[in-house]
Structure 1
Amino acid sequence: MAKYLVQIVILGTQIIGRAFARALQQEYQASQEAARRAGGGRKGAQSAAANARSSITVEESLKILNVEKMDPEKIKVNYEHLFNVNDKLKGGSFYLQSKVVRAKERLDEELAAADNTKTGKEDHR
């Protein structure tokens, strides 16, 4: 009986180990793909790092705020509208309101990085 129990534990550990290794590999590949899509090199690495820090991508942020390009005025207008519509006191969703805030923060970060690039300053995080 103990022999079978040990075999089950070993088999379960192997399965979990393989799944964990596959998950790490997929995460690494996704990170590399995100860096490549962001332009590769230093800019791509900075963009991938910003995505990891904020846990939201620029593309996802644009979709959440319903904007097609990085237009600060349109972003601000849509942010204010979505933030107010999702106010919990007005029957909205705190979760959705949080997503709107995170999306705005991520786009503001991207706009600041683009502005720093234009003025010749670099972001050294």
Structure 2
Amino acid sequence: MAARYLAQIIVLGGQVVGRAFTRALRQEFQASQQAAKRAGGGKEGAKSAAKDNLSGITLQESMQILNISKLDAPTVEKNFEHLFKVNDKSKGGSFYLQSKVIRAKERLDQELAPKKNIDSGAAQQDTKEAPPPPT
């Protein structure tokens, strides 16, 4: 008799955990779809959402941490250097804040990397010599 009640408790507990797991999974799926839509939708939104998941920080949050409004490599580097030095633990800063600054810069570097490749490709094309005239 006791084994029967114990089996019922185990089955009911499994059902409750299973329902909770599927509900959490659905919510996570919806949240990831909404994040992709906020990031621009389509392939670009999916890429941005993947970068957010990989780094654990969104592009907007990274820009807020480094206090920048426009994604510009020199500004990112300047603000990163300042905030990194200010939050140095040996100067009474916070290691946690310093690590957040590092993660924010890494996320912005991910966003700037394709732009750097495009810019460097254009610069290389500009510096190529013109082909010699036919003789």
Q: Would the TM-score normalized by the shorter structure come out above 0.5? A: yes
Which residue in 1 is equivalent to 2:5?
4
After TM superposition, the structure 1 stretch with the greater mean CA deviation from structure 2, 20-29 or 69-78, is: 69-78
Q: Aligned residue pairs: how many?
A: 120
Which residue in 1 is equivalent to 2:43?
42
User: Could you tell me how far apart the structure 2 residues matched to 1:5 and 1:61 are?
Assistant: 51
Q: Return 5+ residue gaps in structure 1 as ranges.
A: 121-125
User: Could you tell me how far apart the structure 1 residues matched to 2:81 and 2:94 are?
Assistant: 15
Q: What is the identity, as a one-letter code, of the residue corresponding to 2:16?
A: I
Which residue in 1 is equivalent to 2:105?
104
User: How do 1:39-78 and structure 2 match up within 5 A?
Assistant: 39-78=40-79
Give identity over the alignment, percent: 62
User: Could you tell me how far apart the structure 2 residues matched to 1:58 and 1:68 are?
Assistant: 11
TM-score (norm. length: structure 2): 0.76
Q: What is the identity, as a one-letter code, of the residue corresponding to 1:49?
A: A
- Aligned-residue RMSD, C-alpha: 2.1
Q: What is the identity, as a one-letter code, of the residue corresponding to 1:79?
A: F
Q: What is the identity, as a one-letter code, of the residue corresponding to 1:15?
A: V
User: Could you tell me how far apart the structure 2 residues matched to 1:43 and 1:33 are?
Assistant: 14
Q: Return 5+ residue gaps in structure 2 as ranges.
A: 123-135
